[in-house]
Structure 1
Amino acid sequence: MPLSSQDLLDRWIALAGPGAAQLGAGIIARYAEPHRHYHTVEHLRAMFTAIDELAAEAADIDAVRYAAFFHDAIYAVDRADNEERSADLARDVLESLDAAPELVDEVVRLVLLTRGHDTEAGDANGAVLCDADLVVLAGDPATYAAYAAAVRTEYGHVPDDLFRAGRAAVLRALANQPVLYRTPAARSRYEQRARANLSAELAALTEPGAADVGQP
């Protein structure tokens, strides 16, 4: 069953304590900003469902869950520094909660990692967070189509030809990676379906006269 907004808030309270409930509600509310179409509360819910499935693979699951809350907390389609600004917000909020410095540093590192999903070998926390962020690539056809359409809507100001070229470049970069998912569990569950989805969208984007299809 999909997580509700209350479920998300309960998870925040479990991490940060009941005294931080208002802060958590404010962070979750950012994902409902009207300019968002993919980077939404629904995306956050899907991430937490995947993190639950992969939790045993993390070294510090609390750091991963905090990073999920913050990873798209600041998002504007016309800016290239969303992850940096979100990481700054994470540091400010966690320091205001007197979180341990090592936890703060790890959450900041993880948020920044979602910019390129370029995890290093042995980075268990990074692998879980990035796999959860990319789980949308392995959706069923209807779910993937909705994701692609939402991405296109977020980039509605970009002309069709430029969008198709840019989106195709993003998908090729993903498809050319040796593996999309770093944790064994995610690779087993999602890799094959995600690659099929990427191939299908790339074909739709690059065929002559292709219609628009919807950046993880």
Structure 2
Amino acid sequence: MTMLSSWQQAWVLAGLVEPPRTVFESLCRAYAEPQRHYHSLQHLRECLAQAGEIERLAERPGEVLIALWFHDAVYDTHARGNEAASAAWARDIVAAAGSREAADRVHALVMATEHHAVPATRDAQVLVDVDLSILGADAARFDEYEQQVRDEYRHVPALLFRTRRRAVLQAFLARPRIYNTEAYVDRLEARARANLGRSIERL
């Protein structure tokens, strides 16, 4: 499925009118910005490739897919509030498509990708599991991901980066479960824990 057809399918599933094509084009340009190494079109494609799983697990799969399109739409490693800015953009676009209720739900979904708390709804659980699926990738892809994250934060001194990165990875590893849905626990939990442990040792 092409990026455009994936975008269109999300709006069909959500029962909403597709926004002007310029919105799709703006999102693609955003994910292609030069400061991105992990939070890029590659990451977006990897998430959207799980659309079948989203349709199977989510209560409102169209809204989850729309949230995926926007969840890293704003990404500045020198600033805070990327998720809030991305969520606000998503809410404005969905509201303009005709549903304030859906707009508020999509906004909440994007905010769940801050990963500060256990997701409160089924759809947030699905979205967060998809976003974190990289942790359970095969070893080669996970190692590439870790290097991509370092490249995004190349302005951070090595010692400080290692300290902060270790804390982030240890926080995921300390959770009773990294993933929220049984499908993702069964498929990715063990490999994610192995990847995290290996990365922490290297740091």
Which TM bucket (shorter chain)?
over 0.9
* 8 Å CA contact 1:54, 1:185 repeated in 2: no
SS at match of 1:59: coil
Indicate yes or no: 2:5 matched with 1:10: yes
> Residue 34 of structure 1 aligns to which amino acid in structure 2?
P
1:56 aligns with 56
Give the Cα–Cα distance (whole angstroms) in 1 for the partners of residues 19 and 169 of structure 2: 42
> Residue 198 of structure 2 aligns to which amino acid in structure 1?
A
Q: Trace 1:1-216 onto structure 2 (pairs within 5 A).
A: 7-14=2-9, 15=11, 17=17, 20-98=20-98, 100-116=99-115, 118-120=117-119, 123-205=121-203
Displacement of 1:78: 1.2
Give the Cα–Cα distance (whole angstroms) in 2 for the partners of residues 120 and 147 of structure 1: 24
SS at match of 1:126: helix
Provide the TM-score with structure 2 as the length reference.
0.92
Give the Cα–Cα distance (whole angstroms) in 2 for the partners of residues 8 and 112 of structure 1: 23
Q: Which runs of 4+ in 1 moved over 3 A?
A: 16-19
Distance change in 2, residues 1:184/1:117 (3 Å): farther
Unaligned runs of 5+ residues in structure 2 are: none
1:213 aligns with none
Displacement of 1:57: 1.4
Give the Cα–Cα distance (whole angstroms) in 2 for the partners of residues 55 and 80 of structure 1: 32
Give the Cα–Cα distance (whole angstroms) in 1 for the partners of residues 115 and 142 of structure 2: 20
SS at match of 2:49: helix
Give the Cα–Cα distance (whole angstroms) in 2 for the partners of residues 54 and 18 of structure 1: 19
Q: Deviations over 1:31-58 (max 9, x none)?
A: 0001100000010011112242242111
For this pair of structures, how many residues does the alignment match?
198
* 8 Å CA contact 1:13, 1:20 repeated in 2: no
Deviates more, 1:112-121 or 1:155-164: 112-121
Give the Cα–Cα distance (whole angstroms) in 1 for the partners of residues 34 and 119 of structure 2: 35
> Residue 188 of structure 1 aligns to which amino acid in structure 2?
D
Identity of aligned residues (%): 37
SS at match of 1:91: helix
* 8 Å CA contact 1:51, 1:129 repeated in 2: no
SS at match of 2:154: coil
RMSD: 1.5
* 8 Å CA contact 2:17, 2:97 repeated in 1: no
* 8 Å CA contact 1:35, 1:154 repeated in 2: yes
